[in-house]
Structure 1
Amino acid sequence: MHPTVSIKKRLLFLVFISFAVVFGLIIRLLFIQVVKGEEYQKMALPQWTLDVSLNGKRGYIFDRNGKILAENISVNKISVIPKEIPDSKREVVAETLAKVVGVDEKKILEKISNKNLQEVVIAKQVEEEKAKSLLRINIDGVIISEDMKRFYPEGSLASHVLGFTGIDNQGLDGVELVFDNFLRGVPGKFTMPIDALGRKVEEGEEEYFEPFPGYNVILTIDETIQHFTEKALNQAMVHSKPSKGISAIVMDPKTGEILALANRPNFDPNNPFEGSQEEWYRRWRNKAISDSYEPGSVFKTITAAAALEEKVVSLHEQFYCPGYTTVAGHRINCWATHGSEDFVKGVQNSCNVVFVTVGQRLGVERLYKYIRDFGFGKPTGILLPGEAPGLVMPEERVGPVELATNSFGQGIAVTPLQMITAVAAIANGGKLMQPQIVKAVVDAKGKIVKEFKPKVIRRVISEETSATMREILKSVVAEGTGRAGYIEGFDVAGKTGTTEKYMPGKYVASFVGFAPADDPRVIVLVVIDEPNNPETHFGSQLAAPVVKSILEDTLKYLEVQPKGMTTREMVMVPEVRKMKLYEAEKIILERKLDFILQGNGDSVVDQMPKPGALVEENTKIVLYLDEAPNEEVVVPDLKGKSVKEATEILNSLGLKIKIKGTGFAVNQKPEKGTLVKKGEVVEVEFRPREN
């Protein structure tokens, strides 16, 4: 073959190969840029951008009246971009940061030495002064961004309901934990361009993606009633000196809504990790729902209701108590020798002999039906963590002695929440209600995201049996063991309980009471675990006065009128919003009311109390004028006001109240006329009026 032809063939082959390679590169380039372009762009994005995370603001927690129980305060987060710190300066930066924020220097150095990380967080929830000192030093690569810290303005109030959060603002206990998915916000971020060495590009465009706040949670708790409850428990701790603490629950028996829940010991959710680890768990424990106890004589309300519903006993049937009874060869003692008594008297006397007899008539099958129907032996389903199911012996293992002891509340373990829920069913007409701790979850504009309405679980007893039980339990307070729960002017119904533990000399004292007996507005249970009062260990003497204190304050706060007591004329608050000031003043004065002005202007934009509320004559109506109230307000004269009136007046002015005593206001601090800033606390002393 001619050499020239051979060379041409080789050239053609090389050209073909070149075209093939170029064509392949073009196809590959199209594949990378078009088909895989978006995917590779996402992979490259972290190499030429830096994202600084921004936490979403956690939602608020409110009481049923809109008072803030959990909010946020602005703090700072300290972060470092490792690539922006030269190797020669890492030790100096670590030392400086350690001194300012109080974090171990070696840990900081280890973090900032990892150049593979875009951002490392050095400290969260850093106070403003520390952040300002870092800004003054102005270290390259150190970023100070806004952070949020959970704040509980009322301190330890309702701590076992609210719970607390961790360093990352995540819910760790209480409502904060159960509703964490609703409360936590959606994080945002701050994005800035960086070069190949990870350094910020000054000319590049920065982007800000705003974080979104979490939803707000509205509790069934009433802050004022919670204050009453905790005040009473503080007094009981001094009087009873219990080794294992106290629990109290206040509930609306008709709806199952919990108005207050408190335990001792408790904790401050602003500083939940104070003290030793052993102390943490002891203080955090929500005894009202997590601890089971033998209810003793309070459980007799269940046996009595079951017996009346099943018609195995009549009200005036006679019994005889010699101080004990014998069951299957076992002697079961009563706490006293009551002699001849009818059934009602037997309940008043809390007589074990009567209830053993009634329990035997019911039998295991029927008694256990009511034990289950009243909700014992399984959790109530309240939206709080750590609820215990209680302890009910399997029905097949119940013999004659177990039946006898169960009938008067021994050999069965319940939680305080189970017990008050069951007695509430006896009080409210026979319906077992679902205990509620949350009313609703709402967004920032108040729109309901999720609502929790009162829920009837089942009917347990008839309305007729409920009415009969209310009368019997009313007589227990008026004539029987519950006399210490009596409140003048109110029909209080209740039942005492005293149980000896399986350790000699260790008792549980309890009392449950509700009022008014004929139409219950509120029910209260107090359980005192291992009282150390040298004079007594009985629920009638230790727990009943605590329930009385809570009931008395709460009934007055709810403006439940006592029987047979003269009160000032009640007046309906008129509608004066959108009126001129002179028109509003005239109408208010004609109704024998008074007024307080807030703001400047000549038109009324809002008022407190709202139109339609019933108040006593001479009550001061707060009128808000067309300009917003100033940051400073004048402390009003509260003398002679009820707890509810004083609370409403101060809250309407943006002030808080610290309540001492009950009845009507006699002293206050600061004095009337004092100029104070909104949010300050006015301490008000209340005393009953002298007859």
Structure 2
Amino acid sequence: MGNRYKSSRTAIAIILAIATFLGFGYDLYDIQIKNNEYYVAQSSAVQTYTVSIEAARGEIVDRNGNVLVTNRKGNSIILDAAYFPSAKNNEARNAIVINLIKLFNKNKEEYVHNLPLKIGKNGKVKFFTKKDDENFESAIKTMKSKDMFNLQPYATAQNCFDAMVEKYGLERYDAKTALEIGNIRYELTRCLFSVSNPVTIADDVSDKTVAQIKENKTNYRGADVQVVAYRSYTDPSLAAHIIGTVRKINAEEYAELKDSGYGINDEIGESGIEKACEADLRGTPGEKTVTIDAEGNVNETVTKEPVQGDTIVLTIDKDMQKIAEKKLRKICLKTSGVATGAVVVEDVHSGEILSAANYPTFNLDEYYSDYQKLASNSKKPLFNRFAMSAFAPGSTFKPLMAVAGLEEGKITKDTYFYCNHTFKISDMTFKCTGYHGGLNVEGALEHSCNIFFYNTSQRLGIDLMNKYGKMFGLGQKTGVEIPESKGIMAGPEYRKKFDMVWRPGDTVQCSIGQSDNLLTPLQLANYCATIANGGTRYKTHFVKSKISSATGAVNETGITVEEETGVSQKTFDIVKSGMRRVSLYGGPDRQFNKLKVKTACKTGTSQVVVNGVKHNNGFLITFAPYDNPEISIGSSIETAGSGSSTAEITAAIIDYYYSNNDSEEKAQTDSSLLP
């Protein structure tokens, strides 16, 4: 019996051995004879990848060709999958990453930290908060997503940490080190790391770090130095809200733009002209072909050179912008500790914005490093006041009322209303700032008499007032390339949105720029320009032209007319005369009478409450020269007390514009860029 079982086992072993031999024999036949050509090709196959080469962004210059934004060369550290250990080899990858982290820390280099986890003071793992990242909620959601750690939405920070440790083989490291390594490993996963897609892990590093990485390829295998064009500003505090910022593309933007040629590591305009002209500034990426043969040898060839983005020529004048910002800051600081403001200068014959200043402002070089500090500042330096702050314009609204009354024949140049300080309608009493006696429209503008315009409003009615408000751009955006508020034009149409009733007293209040009226400094300048040029409202713009970096061709923005009001020259002459009298005899006279050119203006105030205390915001609209207008200026200073307090800013701008020019011809001529 025993021999029979032994014999059976022997037979089975022999059969298995024969089967195995036949299997190997067939494989040998298949490789060497039947499919010899296929396997030879596979053994010598070359893998080919295409890697994008980032193009330098285009420059931004002022109207005279003065550079505002250019690029400087810097070094970033990337990880290149062609040389980096395989994703299956966690241990080798982690060893290289920890070597890089030690080097970065030693040389005080900043490196990526997009993994929204941190270790708290109690030693426990915590999620990022808004203090760590403004978009922390989106970052946490991405981390838990299927493509990353594949966790449920309710997963805790510790759950995420544990998933990271398991995914990247970090079990042998302490929590702090594991998180440091995991952070860079996470970045590789997040940015779709591959031979075709190297990932940047540190930006703008020192020459010392560059040298150490290049000299020690073994410890830093797969790490390489990439020469990058970084944004550089001739004056990082100048025109910050106009120029705007750039940053790395985020996950949502990449998903939307990847089909347009954007890579996960690309930069993108975040705000201002950088965002508005992203398609022009971005340039055309180049291409590098990477080949890896069967023995792991890597060859790289640039097959398409990148093309720098186009140059954007702005309408602003760099020197005027400096003066506007400097004077605005001075007046705001002199006014009060809480004062903020804005000023806008417009070419009345084109809608070009020659200057647009805010106080406070910020430094573009320090925007990201100081973001939390800037965002929490009570004066809101990141807020673009000249385009987004809308205020009750006060008496700067009165020239519009004068235009409407005269043009509709409700008043004439010789119409007089008597001001005894009060005006009654129904059971309501409205007041003036003084006792002016009998005044015509020119005198009413000069003395800013409320009573005259209360009476005018009763003859016009709110529908006609709104008709002219629309003509002059109230409640509408002016057209600039960057975000702006459309403000509010007071009237029944606006009240209906909130199921509110328009009452007779509201029409009275509206006539002096109160009620629901809200205008931005941009709108003030544009409205004033429409009066100054005789009734043409232009679309405002910051981009004068675009210059192709590939061909040198210049594409002019051109002039766009938004509205031809059709208001008579006679009407405008009367209104301008009244505004001229404000310059000669009103509050701003001490500043304006020193100028070489004649000006016309209108002041305004509106009441606000700050920290429980009542203040007046101050506004001023001005055009110059009076006889042949070329520029209009709209300014606002919160808590200034009066519009006259802004006159020093306006006077400095006009003085600059017409410096060394006695004939009232335009002093600042546009120069062309050299080819």
Q: Normalising by structure 2, what TM-score?
A: 0.72
Amino acid at match of 1:67: N
Correspondence for 1:355: 453
SS of the residue aligned with 2:636? strand
SS of the residue aligned with 1:392? coil
CA contact (8 A) 1:474 1:517 kept: yes
2:277 matches 1:200? no
The superposition leaves residues 274-302 of structure 1 with CA deviations (integer Å, 9 ceiling, x where unpaired) of 43536238222211111110000001111
Q: 2:363 aligns with which of 255, 268, 276?
A: 268
Q: CA deviation at 1:328?
A: 2.3
2:99 matches 1:96? yes
Alignment partners' CA distance in 2, 1:527 and 1:182 = 33
Correspondence for 1:117: 194
Correspondence for 1:288: 386
Alignment CA distance shift 1:506-1:113 (3 Å): closer
The superposition leaves residues 558-605 of structure 1 with CA deviations (integer Å, 9 ceiling, x where unpaired) of x3536xxxxxxxxxxxxxxxxxxxxxxxxxxxxxxxxxxxxxxxxxxx
Alignment CA distance shift 1:421-1:57 (3 Å): same
Q: CA deviation at 1:166?
A: 0.9
Correspondence for 1:462: 568
Correspondence for 2:504: 400
Alignment partners' CA distance in 2, 1:312 and 1:84 = 82
Correspondences of 1:557-636 after superposition (within 5 Å): 559=661, 561=663
The superposition leaves residues 580-633 of structure 1 with CA deviations (integer Å, 9 ceiling, x where unpaired) of xxxxxxxxxxxxxxxxxxxxxxxxxxxxxxxxx999xxxxxxxxxxxxxxxxxx
Correspondence for 1:550: 653
User: After TM superposition, what 4+ stretches of structure 1 lie above 6 angstroms from structure 2?
Assistant: 112-116
Q: CA deviation at 1:51?
A: 4.1
Correspondences of 1:80-159 after superposition (within 5 Å): 80-82=79-81, 84-86=83-85, 87=89, 89-98=92-101, 99-100=103-104, 101-103=109-111, 104-109=180-185, 117-118=194-195, 119-138=198-217, 139-159=220-240
Correspondence for 1:516: 625
Does 455-464 or 346-355 show the bigger shift? Answer: 455-464
The superposition leaves residues 616-655 of structure 1 with CA deviations (integer Å, 9 ceiling, x where unpaired) of xxxxxxxxxxxxxxxxxxxxxxxxxxxx79x99xx99xxx
Alignment partners' CA distance in 1, 2:58 and 2:654 = 32
Alignment CA distance shift 1:455-1:234 (3 Å): same
CA contact (8 A) 2:50 2:288 kept: yes
SS of the residue aligned with 2:64? coil
SS of the residue aligned with 1:151? strand
CA contact (8 A) 2:110 2:203 kept: no
CA contact (8 A) 2:314 2:543 kept: yes
CA contact (8 A) 1:350 1:481 kept: no
SS of the residue aligned with 2:351? coil
Correspondence for 2:263: none
CA contact (8 A) 2:288 2:300 kept: no
SS of the residue aligned with 1:361? helix
Q: CA deviation at 1:451?
A: 2.4
SS of the residue aligned with 2:572? helix
Amino acid at match of 2:285: P
Q: CA deviation at 1:131?
A: 2.2
The superposition leaves residues 93-136 of structure 1 with CA deviations (integer Å, 9 ceiling, x where unpaired) of 21232233433443224556999733333223434443233223
Alignment partners' CA distance in 2, 1:548 and 1:339 = 31
Alignment CA distance shift 1:71-1:381 (3 Å): same
Q: CA deviation at 1:270?
A: 2.0
SS of the residue aligned with 2:381? helix
2:580 matches 1:474? yes
Amino acid at match of 1:144: V
Q: CA deviation at 1:196?
A: 5.0
Amino acid at match of 2:360: P
SS of the residue aligned with 1:501? strand
Specify every segment of 5 or more residues in structure 1 that has no aligned partner in the other structure, as ranges.
Answer: 1-21, 33-40, 532-536, 563-612, 616-643, 653-691
Correspondence for 2:244: 163
2:408 matches 1:310? yes
Correspondences of 1:604-683 after superposition (within 5 Å): none
Amino acid at match of 2:637: I
Correspondences of 1:410-449 after superposition (within 5 Å): 410-411=514-515, 412-444=517-549, 447-448=552-553
Alignment partners' CA distance in 2, 1:391 and 1:467 = 25
SS of the residue aligned with 2:464? helix
Q: CA deviation at 1:526?
A: 1.3
SS of the residue aligned with 1:283? coil
Q: 1:298 aligns with which of 389, 396, 402?
A: 396
Alignment partners' CA distance in 1, 2:553 and 2:79 = 40
The superposition leaves residues 352-407 of structure 1 with CA deviations (integer Å, 9 ceiling, x where unpaired) of 11111111111122111001111111212211124444353334743211111111
SS of the residue aligned with 2:365? coil
Q: CA deviation at 1:479?
A: 1.9
SS of the residue aligned with 2:541? coil
Correspondences of 1:57-72 after superposition (within 5 Å): 57-72=56-71
Amino acid at match of 1:505: K
SS of the residue aligned with 2:614? coil
Correspondence for 2:54: 55
CA contact (8 A) 1:90 1:112 kept: no
Correspondence for 2:513: 409
CA contact (8 A) 2:357 2:386 kept: yes
Alignment CA distance shift 1:385-1:551 (3 Å): same
Alignment partners' CA distance in 2, 1:171 and 1:143 = 26
CA contact (8 A) 1:60 1:70 kept: yes
Q: CA deviation at 1:449?
A: 5.7
The superposition leaves residues 495-547 of structure 1 with CA deviations (integer Å, 9 ceiling, x where unpaired) of 0011112665132101111111010122211100123xxxxx1112x112221
Does 219-228 or 486-495 show the bigger shift? Answer: 486-495
Correspondences of 1:19-58 after superposition (within 5 Å): 48-58=47-57
CA contact (8 A) 1:492 1:517 kept: yes
CA contact (8 A) 1:420 1:512 kept: yes
Specify every segment of 5 or more residues in structure 2 that has no aligned partner in the other structure, as ranges.
Answer: 1-29, 112-179, 249-265
Specify which structure has the bigger relative contact order, considering alpha-carbon pairs within 8 angstroms and separated by 6 or more residues.
2
Q: CA deviation at 1:431?
A: 0.9
Alignment partners' CA distance in 2, 1:338 and 1:527 = 27
Q: CA deviation at 1:469?
A: 1.9
CA contact (8 A) 1:60 1:216 kept: yes
CA contact (8 A) 2:423 2:429 kept: yes
Alignment CA distance shift 1:275-1:327 (3 Å): farther
Does 174-183 or 474-483 show the bigger shift? Answer: 474-483
Correspondence for 1:237: 332
CA contact (8 A) 2:332 2:339 kept: no
Q: How many residues align?
A: 527
Correspondence for 2:74: 75
Alignment partners' CA distance in 2, 1:206 and 1:304 = 71
CA contact (8 A) 1:316 1:344 kept: no
CA contact (8 A) 2:413 2:574 kept: no
Give the structure with the higher percent strand: 1
CA contact (8 A) 2:461 2:507 kept: yes
Amino acid at match of 2:425: V
CA contact (8 A) 1:291 1:388 kept: no
Amino acid at match of 1:60: E
2:337 matches 1:258? no
Correspondence for 2:151: none
Give the RMSD, CA atoms, in angstroms. 3.4
